[in-house]
A and B are shown apart, each in its own frame.
Chain A
Amino acid sequence: MSVAGTKSIETEAPQASPGALLAFWNNPIGKKALMSLTGIILSLYVFAHLLGNMQIYVGAEAINGYAHLLHKNLALLWTARVVLLAAVLVHALAGVQLYLNKANTRPVQYAERVNIISTTASRTMIWSGVLIFAFVIYHVLDLTVGVAHAGPYEDVMPYQNVLSGFRFLPAAIAYVVAMVGVGFHLWHGLYSLFQSLGMSHPRYTPMVQKGAAIVGTLVALANISVPIAVLTGLLR
């Protein structure tokens, strides 16, 4: 129905409901919220993993004992692995889908567009993400399964495996490069997850932004210290 001289607003007939979860997934805001939640799981794992790694400086008994502790309860170990795998899949699928949509949202590119305030880390999330994804596959094959290991692989003996692995220079370099990627990803991700979940405050957000950069850098440096320590002979 339209009033003379005006045109009514027609809405498209709503189709059958896609279901609440699918509707949430189909909207970029929902997708980013799910990326944030899975990102929280994955970054908590990164912190826990780092704390585990640092025991290498305590000694062989400490880190090997820790590895045995983790492998003691297979049900718990596999629960953790399944949760992490599910988180990775949701996070990566959402990220890749959103990235691929970029070609549709701006089909004709600018001759020139200047970035004014964004960080390099924030503009390269897809590439640091792809790097981390490839690294995780290599890392599992190297130090969990052992098939991609450079030296002799010993089951659940991380101290010996780390030492024999990192004496092979290309492996050490691959780990360093991947950790730079992790640092960059955390740099923006740890801040962005608050924004995507709807948390922003003029007092706390700048702190979160700085904190994310610091934590990302520290995580990367601490992890990078291990191959460096092996190559320089600090760990032997």
Chain B
Amino acid sequence: MRLTLEIWRQKNGSDPGRFVTYEVEANEHMSFLEMLDVLNQGLIAKGEEPVAFDNDCREGICGMCGFLIDGQAHGPNHPGTVCQLHMRFFHDGQKLRLEPWRAAAFPIVKDLVVNRSALDRIIAAGGYNSVRTGSAPEANAILINKNDSDQAMEAAACIGCGACVAACPNAAAALFTGAKITQLSLLPQGQPERYIRVINMAGQHESEGFGHCTSIGECQAVCPAGIKIEVIARMNKDFIRASLKRRETTPPATISKSGSPYA
């Protein structure tokens, strides 16, 4: 199958960038990233700069890959990452437009690669959670309600790919932050720091330059891990509760972009 690709090319953060059109010969058994590998081999052979894109496991579980294909984060097949998207979802002669995640909090590194460290800093702002140290505890020493553990597990499926930010008209990372907060706030192990955690993570989310949630649901439509916006409601509830209950008057401690390992 022959495809025409309109790909966003941008040398670095200061380059304004532009779309460049390429032709590529692929077959339907390839994954989308393998199709780009073929394109890049061709570009290298011609002495041109290959298209930069993030990827790692190519199993749909690491969260490294992702860009917009024809205006949809991770392409037209949901839920799933772009590495798990196969060329059989496209047809011969199709024209596709590839665009990186666009958000103030995700500066473009090169071509389709963006810097998602802002998500790492949101997690880091959550701080530690208290656990008993020493030898591994007996697995069922702490009893957990089945529903809660299931919901925590579903929230923990978030791979931090950033598709929710990309699909949000306000570039909010609410689905991501909500998932991270939900996974701990539902478990007994997450209780001691539950309320300070939500204050700090929501504060970091805001200071990173992400937008606000308007509950339109576009994020859950593209989430490769199938996270639902129910996690955002849980974050909102915890944030409101924490704001009402907290006794400290200090504002949230935010992590600086330069002074952290997550630059």
Is B213 a contact partner of A197 (Cβ separation < 8 A)? no
> Which residues of the partner chain A approach B236 to less than 8 Å between Cβ atoms?
29, 32-33, 195-198
Chain A 62-81 per-residue mask, 1 if CB under 8 angstroms from chain B, else 0: 00000000000000000000
> Which residues of the partner chain B approach A30 to less than 8 Å between Cβ atoms?
239-240, 243
Chain A, range 176-206, C-beta contacts under 8 Å to B: 188, 191-192, 194-202, 205
A122 at the interface (CB under 8 A from B): yes
Is A114 a contact partner of B70 (Cβ separation < 8 A)? yes
Interface of A is mostly: loop
B103 at the interface (CB under 8 A from A): yes
Is A29 a contact partner of B202 (Cβ separation < 8 A)? yes
A-binding segment of B33-41, B83-91, B169-177, B187-195: B169-177
Chain A, range 194-236, C-beta contacts under 8 Å to B: 194-202, 205
Contact of B255 among A9, A32, A108 (CB under 8 A): A9
Size category of the B interface is 35 or more
A10 at the interface (CB under 8 A from B): yes
Name the residue on B nearest A198 (C-beta): B237
Name the residue on B nearest A191 (C-beta): B215
> Which residues of the partner chain B approach A200 to less than 8 Å between Cβ atoms?
229-230, 232-234
B161 at the interface (CB under 8 A from A): no
B211 at the interface (CB under 8 A from A): yes
| Contact A105:B170 (CB < 8 A) given known A11-B255, A14-B251 | yes
Give Cα A109–Cα B169 distance, bound, in whole angstroms: 10
B203 at the interface (CB under 8 A from A): yes
Contact of A195 among B167, B233, B238, B246 (CB under 8 A): B233
Name the residue on B nearest A113 (C-beta): B71
Task: State the Cβ distance, A128 to closest chain B Cβ, in Å.
Answer: 13
Give Cα A113–Cα B171 distance, bound, in whole angstroms: 12
Chain B, range 153-211, C-beta contacts under 8 Å to A: 167, 169-172, 202-203, 206, 209-211
| Contact A105:B104 (CB < 8 A) given known A20-B243, A30-B239, A33-B236 | yes
Is A118 a contact partner of B217 (Cβ separation < 8 A)? yes
Task: State the Cβ distance, B148 to closest chain A Cβ, in Å.
Answer: 14
A152 at the interface (CB under 8 A from B): no
| 28 interchain pairs, CB-CB under 8 A | A7-B261, A9-B255, A9-B262, A11-B256, A17-B249, A28-B212, A29-B212, A30-B239, A30-B240, A32-B212, A33-B236, A33-B240, A98-B211, A102-B211, A105-B171, A105-B209, A110-B68, A111-B19, A112-B99, A116-B218, A116-B221, A117-B220, A195-B215, A198-B237, A198-B239, A200-B232, A200-B234, A202-B230
Residues of A within 8 A of B (CB): 6-7, 9-12, 14-15, 17-20, 23-24, 26-33, 98, 101-102, 104-119, 122-123, 125, 188, 191-192, 194-202, 205
Pairs A-B, 4 closest by C-beta atoms: A198-B237, A28-B212, A200-B233, A10-B259
